[in-house]
Structure 1
Amino acid sequence: MAADIPIIDAHIHLYPEAEISTLAWCTPEHPLAKQHSLEEYNTATGDSKPQGFIFVETDRKNDLESGVKDGSGWKYPLMEVSWLKRIIAGQPKDGEGHTKEDAAMCTAFIPWAPLPSGAVVMEKYIDMVKKEAGDSWPKVRGFRYLLQDKPKGTMLQDNFIESLKFLGRKGFVFDLGVDQHNRGRAQLEEVVEMIDRAHDGVPEEQKVVFIINHMCKPDLTVYNTHTDTSFIAWRTAIYTLSKCNKTYMKLSGGFPEMPDSLKQRSAEDIFDALMPWMTILVASFGASRIMFASDWPVCTVGVGDGAWTKWKKIVERLCWMASFEEEEKRMVWGGTALKAYGIEQ
């Protein structure tokens, strides 16, 4: 990778120690149950420090029904907005692990949003995000409601589709987090139907952009991709999703889906094992719709402190394998993220 190509890391998570109890998934024994700050992130990236990053919500505790009534159920997601505002303003509280000099690094941030509640509630919630974000509001480029662990049919409910159309009208993207490894083919089939319904009857300029997280979390333990039904279902879904020009793919989230033995091997060995999946992603989306994303600090679990650098090497090898030209590499390392999120620089 040429040293002069700027990196935008399109998917990271941060949270201060004082707010760990607000994370819905975080138990005391969880390997990520400690502060993950910009100071630690900068250390993890070493000499390859990105020009910027896109922060994605960390699944804070919430109560959709309470939020609909009085907003109180949205306390912790709005607390996360306030946390990002402090980073962007360069105004940390003691011990939060970021400085005034870090302020420019946040290229965009993607808060949580209550999409199952419908457009009217979404408008109320987004007004509250705007108020909480203050001067940092222009950095809010979209929203996420994590679908990977939600009941079957959640993303196909009328209110959910209505919320997606609302985001499109307002110029926001939707970060799409699903999990083929654990939820199987049916969840990917729902995604295809959801996108079709969200775009049905909508003018092109108002269609919501979908930014797909973590390659849809494929099962990377598969050995024989020629016959494995899981791989074939993933491949079919990826090709189908790529046919919509409003979809983009993050090259991220690979480590959690691998067997533990593979995580500890070299970046070159890991890339060779991932070749069938990487080939499909390049063939379907191309350099103009795939983007480098680390999923830090999740990427460190089972891998260690060198995870960010190892994942970067894997994506570098992908660019080499695909024989990308200079401009194509610039898209993968930052240009695609800027385009997909509608960020002007």
Structure 2
Amino acid sequence: MKIDAHQHYWDPARGDYGWLTPELSALYRVFGPDDLKPLREAVNVECTVAVQAAPTVDETRYLLKLARSEESIAGVVGWVPLDAPDAPALIEKLARDPKFKGVRPMLQDLPDDRWIEIASIEPAIRKLIELDLAFDALVFARHVPSLLAFAKRYPELRIVVDHGAKPPIRDGAAGWQPWADAIEQLAALPQKPYCKLSGLVTEAAPNCDEKILEPYVEHLLENFGAQRLMWGSDWPVLNLNGGYAGWHDAARALCVRDPDLKNTDEEAIFGANARAFYRL
């Protein structure tokens, strides 16, 4: 089964997507399952993981409601105020829905880059561990020192790094570091976190091609290996600089190009890893 490990659905009229403004004309409309269906079917993607795009519990409930009537949504990664006193109870309540698979605190948008290291979130994280839920880390390289400290504090927590930690591909050679070192440090953590092969096109200059993406994909493969990397579209954000089939085919070509990869590795990256990690 081929799985898209990272995509979004939203309705701007809901009013809680602070980043989603009319200026983002390619994104500022309703995107739902009927929009994605022909795109994923064209590349034989059977199901997806829908990931939060607003820092509200209401949006998480919106996604879970969609998932109840949409078979192709295999799991939902939602948002919870992890530092709130009632966070553990809220996590437990959301987890009663079998499609609730984890949380994402949108670390990249928080004013303090060290939040994940210093915030009072232990009760919430312990509840995630107790319920075997996942933690999506939406970070840039600058967040990695604090993410490393956080991960070492909770070795039982299942962590996945979103979008390959968002390398600044558009900056060329000047953007390779400190991102490359950050990836090596994250991949070496004892709990063996996973990483999403997603979001790279959005971080590149317009009209990027496989040659530009190749060193970044190779670095992720080298460090996380085929058994800890999972492909995701990041649709519809992907529409800012590409298309669904184009990114799917480019990612597949870049992975298959590696002479050490086997058919089972391709199956892992494009489905089996997401299924295992998110308990789909």
TM-score (norm 2): 0.91
1:217 Cα deviation after fit:
0.4
- Give the percent of matched residue pairs that are identical in Structure 1 and Structure 2: 23
| Residue matched to 2:144 | 188
Q: Structure 1's 161 and 107: CA in aligned 2 closer, same or farther, altered over 3 A?
A: same
Which of 233, 247, 256 does residue 193 from structure 2 map onto? Answer: 247
Q: Distance in 2 between matches of 1:166 and 1:45?
A: 34
Q: CA deviation at 1:162?
A: 4.6
Q: Which has the larger radius of gyration?
A: 1
Q: How far off its partner does 1:340 sit?
A: 1.1
Question: Structure 2: 5+ residue runs without aligned partners?
Answer: none
Instruction: Give runs of aligned pairs for residues 185-334 of structure 1, distance below 5 A.
Output: 186-199=142-155, 207-224=156-173, 228=174, 230-244=175-189, 245-262=191-208, 270-303=209-242, 307-323=243-259, 324-334=261-271
Residue 319 of structure 1: how far off its partner (Å): 2.1
Counterparts of 2:87 and 2:158, CA distance in 1: 17
- Provide the residue aligned with 1:335 in structure 2: 272
Paired with 1:46 and 1:339, the residues of 2 have a C-alpha distance of: 22
Q: Equivalent residue of 1:27, what SS?
A: coil
Residue 22 of structure 1: SS of its match in structure 2? coil
Separation (CA, whole Å) in 1 of partners of 2:12 and 2:139: 27
Q: Using the TM superposition, give the Cα deviation of residue 128 of structure 1 relative to its aligned residue in structure 2, in angstroms.
A: 4.3
Structure 2: distance between partners of 1:332 and 1:59: 27
1:116 and 1:157 in contact (8 A); partners too:
no
Q: Which one has the bigger helix percentage? A: 1
Corresponding residue of 1:142? 102
> Any unmatched runs of 5+ in structure 1?
1-5, 63-76, 91-102, 181-185, 200-206, 263-269
Give yes or no for contact 1:212–1:248 (8 Å, CA) kept in 2. Answer: yes
The answer for the alignment partner of 2:72 in structure 1 is 105
Q: C-alpha distance in 2, partners of 1:124/1:46?
A: 38
Relative contact order, higher structure (CA 8 A, sep 6+): 2
1:141-186, Cα deviation, whole Å (9 max, x unpaired):
1111100021122111251345333311221110110123xxxxx3
The alpha carbon displacement at 1:121 in A equals 2.2
Q: Distance between the aligned counterparts of 1:86 and 1:198, measured in 2?
A: 31
Query: Is the 8 Å Cα contact of residues 12 and 56 (structure 1) preserved in structure 2?
Result: yes
Q: SS where residue 155 of structure 1 aligns? A: helix
- Structure 2 residue 116 is the aligned partner of structure 1 residue 160: no
Please report the RMSD computed on the Cα atoms of aligned residues, expressed in angstroms. 1.9
- Pairwise CA distance, 1:18: 4.3
Match of 1:204 in 2: none
Instruction: Tell me the equivalent position of 2:16.
Output: 22
